[in-house]
Amino acid sequence: MSLPESPTPPSGLADLSARAQHDLACLSYPAKPWVRASPAGADVLNCAIVGGGQYGQSLAFGLLRERVDRVVVFDANPAGLAGPWMTFARMIMLRTPKDLTGPDLGVGSLTFRAFYEAVHGAQGWDSLFRITRPDWQAYLNWHREVTGIDVRPASVVTRVAPTADGLFELDVLSGGQTRTWRARTVVLATGAEGSGARVVPPMIRDGLPGSLWAHTNDPIDFTRLAGRRIGILGAGASSFDNASAGLEAGAASAELCFRRPQLPLSNPRRWMEFAGFLAHYPELPDLQRWRYMKRLYDISQPPPEPTFRRAVEMPGFRLRPATPWLAVREHAGCVRVDTPSGTLEYDFVIAGTGLSVDLAQRPELAAITPGVALWGDRFQAPTGETDPRLSAFPYLDRWGAFCEREPGSAPWASRLFAIFRGATLSLGPSSASNSNIRYTAPRIVSGITRQLFLADADRVFDEFMAQEHHELAAAAVAGVGG
Ligand SMILES: Cc1cc2nc3c(=O)[nH]c(=O)nc-3n(C[C@H](O)[C@H](O)[C@H](O)COP(=O)(O)OP(=O)(O)OC[C@H]3O[C@@H](n4cnc5c(N)ncnc54)[C@H](O)[C@@H]3O)c2cc1C
């Protein structure tokens, strides 16, 4: 059987947007709005989504398709700049293959491919190797417009707290004013940093003036480092990206120092990209999920091959394996770093030391954190397999909702959902990445609609019983002889 020819590619984005609207109309069943207004008031949101990156907007779109109204997405970044792509991400292209799908939620005209072909034609798509950062951001911005979701940019959620009447309150700071919103369900789609904080070794954070160091997630003006020597602690993909960005801006050298004797070579995360794993990992027993994640944490991850090549092809780039930093200090405006093989000197250092998962680091979650279960509360790893890093991950249910730490202590937990770095032990190693939106977003959307429906079950039943549901008019039936 041969597949039908794909339709002629649209001539531009306007055509594609029209095609997407038509596709959405064709897929609109069941179109009936169904979520009853909260008895607490018409201003209560059915869902507040904290974070308007690719996940926040995919979830909002998913809820729209399930006819959930009163959904608002709050994003801290300025309009058009949600997510890391045009701020601290410094790679040329995405690390994932170009044919990834996700924010489209199965609508072909809303895929990245359709977007790219509309702008660059089918040939442009064929010759594309991987998606560039600006193209991914442009795609997300276009998707946001076409889907019509309600995103409030430059709006920082500073507090999420359950209320006695079964809702959540969210304090949202925007334009210097704080407004308190109320919502029946909340999703924390706050990205890699949303479940913890930047990790910076105290010897750097407390021992050096701020002008001499940065974290890879910080804004860095690399033009200021032209002609300078950059030392980077850590050898993850972002460390390579920062080295390349520095060298491309004219730095004299960029060295990556790391503890391991050599770079890891394997990337099992690519192996995991098959439908069964991506879709059903959350159903695995706790022990197996723990073992998958522990192995990934233990072996670490190499940079993607293009990221590696971009860096090593630059003069001035150097890898220093087996080079942990033992002590750092300022010396005559430079940074001196003691290592087991001697002292190194740099003009600027960058901590490529990643992000922690530690809910206690998030001030906006102060009212939430004490009530919810962590893996350490629910799971005892076998001897020899314990890992305090993983014990600190929140223990989420199969829909991505929190669970109570003590039964009865946090009845609101099942209405609070999370898809951030800390969700990955419960929902899958790549669940918070582009490569898994396709499976994880519908899972969370279904968790939210389930909560909204079950919470209203009695009201819905009463409505059902109170109505006649006539299909036929009584007069029409009476007129038929019998
Ligand atoms: C440098 C980098 C490169 C990556 N490259 C890839 C890749 O190539 N392929 C891949 O699959 N994955 C990649 N990832 C991993 C993952 O896909 C990205 O982190 C992705 O951005 C996650 O999407 P998200 O919507 O969950 O979070 P984000 O895109 O980070 O969006 C979160 C949003 O929440 C907002 N926010 C946070 N806190 C608040 C608050 N309190 N109030 C309001 N808004 C808030 C932030 O401003 C941000 O806009 C990369 C990650 C990074 C950091």
Structure-model confidence comparison of residues 409 and 291, the more confident one: 291
Say how many Å lie between the CA of residue 56 and the centre of ligand 1.
10
Query: Is 396 a domain residue?
Result: no
Which residue's CA is minimally distant from atom 33 of ligand 1?
51
- Measured from the Cα of 94, ligand 1's closest atom is 8
Task: Looking at the structure, tell me whether residues 149 and 208 fall in a common domain.
Answer: no
338, 448: one domain: no
Residue-wise pLDDT for 425-438, tens only, equals 999 999 899 889 99
Domain boundaries, position 161: 13-191+433-460
Reference 238, options 189, 193, 298, 190; nearest CA is 193
242, part of any domain: yes
Pocket test for ligand 1, best of 75, 168, 305 (most atoms within 8 A of CB): 75
9 pLDDT exceeds 80? no
Same domain for 222 and 115: no
Q: How far, in Å, is the centroid of ligand 1 from the Cα of 83?
A: 4
Query: Measured in angstroms, how far is the CA atom of residue 240 from the centroid of ligand 1?
Result: 18
Q: Are residues 180 and 225 in the same domain?
A: no
SS3 per residue for 376-415: HHHCCCCCCCCCHHHHCCECECCCCEECECCCCCCCCHHH
Residue 421 CA to ligand 1 centre (angstroms):
9
For residue 5, is pLDDT > 80? no
Residue 424 has pLDDT above 70, yes or no: yes
pLDDT band, very low/low/confident/very high, at 383 (cuts 50, 70, 90): very high
Q: Return d(Cα 117, Cα 113) in angstroms, integer.
A: 6
Determine, yes or no, domain membership for 423.
Answer: no
**Is the domain of 162 the same as that of 230?**
no
Which ligand 1 atom sits nearest the alpha carbon of residue 172? 42
Identify which of 54, 130, 424 to mutate to test ligand 1's pocket (most ligand atoms within 8 A of the CB): 54
Q: Is 364 left (phi over 0), alpha (psi -120 to 50) or beta?
A: alpha
The label of the residue with tokens 């690399």 reads 222
45: nearest Cα among 34, 35, 55: 35
* pLDDT at residue 150 greater than cutoff 90: yes
Per-residue confidence band for 11, with pLDDT thresholds at 50, 70 and 90: low
Strand order of the β-sheet with 317-320 is 213-215, 348-351, 229-233, 253-257, 317-320
User: How does pLDDT run across 19-73, given as a tens digit for each residue?
Assistant: 999 999 999 999 999 999 899 999 999 999 999 999 999 999 999 999 999 999 9
Q: Which of 324, 351, 378 is the last residue of a domain?
A: 351
Give, using CA atoms, the residue closest to atom 21 of ligand 1.
Answer: 83
Would 166 be classed as within a structural domain?
A: yes
The 3-state DSSP class for residue 338 equals strand
> pLDDT tens, 328-365?
999 999 999 999 999 999 999 999 999 999 999 999 99
First to last CA, the chain: 54
* Residue that the structure tokens 């990955």 belong to: 424
- The verdict on 223 and 131 lying in the same domain is no
Which residue among 91, 198, 420, 433 has the greatest number of ligand 1 atoms within 8 angstroms of its CB, and so is best to mutate? 433
30 and 97, same domain (yes or no): yes
Q: Could you give the dihedral angle defined by the CA atoms of residues 451, 453, 456 and 457, in that order, rounded to the nearest 10 degrees?
A: -110
Which contacts (CB < 8 Å, 24+ apart) does range 382-386 have? Answer: 382/287, 385/290, 385/291, 385/294
Give the whole-angstrom CA distance, residue 132 versus residue 67.
33
- Helices 237-248 and 305-312: crossing angle in degrees, nearest 10, is 40
pLDDT in tens, 287-334: 999 999 999 999 888 999 999 999 999 999 999 999 999 999 999 999
User: Nearest 5 degrees, angle CA 272-CA 356-CA 230?
Assistant: 95
Tens of pLDDT, residue by residue over 111-139, are 999 999 999 999 999 999 999 999 999 99
- Return the pLDDT at 482: 57
| Total structural domains within the chain | 2
For residue 329, what are the β-bridge partners?
336
C-beta of residue 222 within 8 angstroms of C-beta of residue 232: no
- CA proximity to 73, closest of 178, 176, 183, 163: 183
Ligand 1, residues 151, 170, 269, 434: which to mutate, most atoms within 8 A of Cβ? 434
My answer on whether 131 and 258 are in the same domain is no
Element (H or E) spanning 320, and its range? strand 317-320
Whether 233 and 201 have beta carbons less than 8 Å apart is answered as yes
* Mean pLDDT, the chain, whole residue set: 95
- The two three-digit tokens of residue 182, written as one number: 């109320």
Which single residue is written with the structure tokens 């949202």?
A: 172
Residues 250 and 153 in one domain: no
Looking at the fold, whether 216 and 97 belong to one and the same domain comes out as: no
Q: Are strands 177-191 and 213-215 parallel, antiparallel or unpaired?
A: unpaired
Query: Length of the chain in residues, anyone?
Result: 482
pLDDT tens figures, 63-103:
999 999 999 999 999 999 999 999 999 999 998 889 999 99
Tell me, what DSSP letter sits at residue 110? G
> In this predicted structure, what is the pLDDT of residue 479?
82
- One-letter identity of residue 308: F
**What is the number of the ligand 1 atom nearest to the C-alpha of 77?**
47
Same domain? For 175 and 37 the reply is: yes
Residue 364 maps to a domain:
no
